[in-house]
Amino acid sequence: MSDDWRQLDRRAVPVAAVFMLGVAVLAGVPSAAGLSEISVAVALGWVLPGMVVVVLAGTVAEWLRLRFTRYRVGPERVELHTGVLIRNRRSLRRERIRTVDVTANPLLRLFGLVSVRIGTGEHAERGTLRLGPVTRATGDELRHALLSRAVRPAADGSLATLDPAWVRYAPLSFVAPLLGAAAVGGVLNVADWFGRAEGLVTWVIDRLGGLGLIGGIAVTAAVALALGVIGALGLWVEMWWGYRLDREPGGTLRVRRGLLTTRSISIEEERVRGVELVEPLGTRLAGAARVDVVATGLKTGTEEHKAQHSTLLPPAPVALARRVAADVLGEPVAPASSAASSPTPTTATPTTASSPTSASTSSTASTAEFASSDKSEISVWEGGLSMGVATVLSAHPVAARGRRLRWALTGVVAGELPLIVLGLLLTGVLLHLAWITALVAVPVAVALALDAYRSLGHALDGDYLVARSGSVRRGTVFLQCRGIIGWTVRQSLFQQRAGLATIRATTAAGSGAYAIRDVAVSAGLDVAGAAVPGLLSPFLERDDFPPEQGDLRSPALSVPDEHALAEQRDLRSPAVSAPTLPSPELSASDQHVPVEQGDAPEQRDLTSRSDLRERDDNE
């Protein structure tokens, strides 16, 4: 590709003129409707000149932008010069470029143009260059030139293409009721523009008055939900029509999709650190899941549509989702196995399954098994999936279930309390509404809490850390251990009492951190230590004494004193967060802990606070 300075396409000016005309019409129609109550002549006299000014101003501004904008793709940098009064010169080093996205809305497609976004994965403005509009051929040329690099060998070709049957999963998300509510609000807003909002409400009440209050509300909700379903189907078609996921020569994954606004998103495979299977509650009940990529270079702060850039596969049958995830990671898919559905409890240990993306867990182990286990090897049921041999996820202690039940019931109480208070102060109708809604909310909350507990699980499968959590949105992440740059161990006061902790794997990819939630302390530390040996162990002291009878609390954590930390500054990683200090009320056995020796060079023995106090007393 030539490194000469280039201009944007000249058709940017007519594109801007058409766009501003649409803006002027959308703004002028409501204004003219409001002014028409005075007179039509007054409305046209004010609105038409304003529309002309808006169109001319937008067109002239776009012409000036086009006149003073230049870009160049050199051997080492991509440079962009913009600005009329204040010149802005920006450049990106080519080796730091992670994504090149080519987008065309309906207006750009009408003129045969596209917009190109070149990103490095840093902040949205500082790490991004936007070139647009340019011709489609120029956009494809930029994408190939900036992302063509040598990577690991992998078979090129299509990984997934659109199946129109996937549209059945669109209404199962929470988008449908939200779109329904938005549609009702939009109708009322438009009616208010023309002064017909009150008449519309009266007309609806007259038509539904014979059904009673509850019947009228039910019919209104059904109509809104139907509108939401139609809107969800239309939105899905617009976003995913023409979908195709390809692995291209040069080591890039390319996602193409869109009906009206076409999108082409390219991701370097060298930057992929894992995948995440996302299963919202509705699609999970229908046996579907979507696939998001965990990659560096996609995290762009508050940039719009960030989540869409990471989606490799829309909601599709879960077997296909696992196959696509395995293909993206370059992992083989195991053949079907009939021995994976045995009801015999097994001990969860790192497995050697052919594909880490086929993961299952069962948290139906008995309470006695959890209560009697103080180690990371928790008994679980091994479950087979249609994809073949499954990675066995270690279930979490029953204390995690209690936490979720308490959260769920607390949420119900928080929602019912205002109704009770207002019912006592104003009218007894609200009290009846409170107990009726509670009859529905309590079972639903308990069911979601139990499902959230059953979804908890973690495992270390070869080179991948696997962690799963969530109920309304269940996510299973398969994170490459080489992508983990630190660990964060967090314990609330209630987690400390229950012997639980939330351990987050810090990474430069995806959301930045992925959590193993409410795991037994010893089990979580074992997994963290095995995933990245030597990274966490220099900063922890662990108790080798078993907990007392009936005590579910896992071994306590403590932090070395300042002198010991000063001696080990060469071992400290900035990404590692120190765990919570033990409570002063803990017994001596909870605080007197020898250091677990790691592989770090020149590691020295750490001394707990209780040892320092004993030494001071003896002296």
Write out 269-286 in H/E/C secondary structure. HHHEEEEEEEEEHHHHHC
d(CA 462, CA 439): 47
Q: In what order do the strands lie in the sheet with 77-82?
A: 70-73, 77-82, 88-93
Rounded to the nearest angstrom, the gap between the alpha carbon of residue 395 and the centroid of all alpha carbons in its chain is 23
Mean pLDDT of 321-341: 65
pLDDT in tens, 455-498: 999 999 889 999 999 999 999 999 999 999 999 999 999 999 99
pTM confidence score: 0.74
Please check the confidence at residue 366 and state whether its pLDDT lies above 60.
no
Alpha-carbon distances of 537 from 59, 480, 492, 529, rounded to whole Å: 62, 20, 21, 7
Mean pLDDT of 61-69: 94
What letter would DSSP give residue 477? E
Structural domain spans, the chain? 6-147, 165-240, 398-447
Tell me what pLDDT residue 615 has.
Answer: 42
CB-side neighbour CA atoms (13 Å) of 121: 23
Q: Name the one residue in this structure whose structure tokens are 């009228």.
A: 216
d(CA 104, CA 62): 18
Q: Confidence band (pLDDT; 50, 70, 90) for 356?
A: low
Q: What is the mean pLDDT of the chain?
A: 78
Q: In what order do the strands lie in the sheet with 500-507?
A: 484-490, 500-507, 513-520
Q: In what order do the strands lie in the sheet with 311-317?
A: 311-317, 288-295, 272-280, 473-480, 464-469, 457-461
Q: Which of 563, 556, 552 is nearest to 584 (CA)?
A: 556
pLDDT in tens, 521-560: 999 999 999 999 988 878 776 554 444 433 333 343 443 4
Total residue length of the chain: 619
pLDDT winner (highest mean) among 318-327, 348-357, 570-579 = 318-327
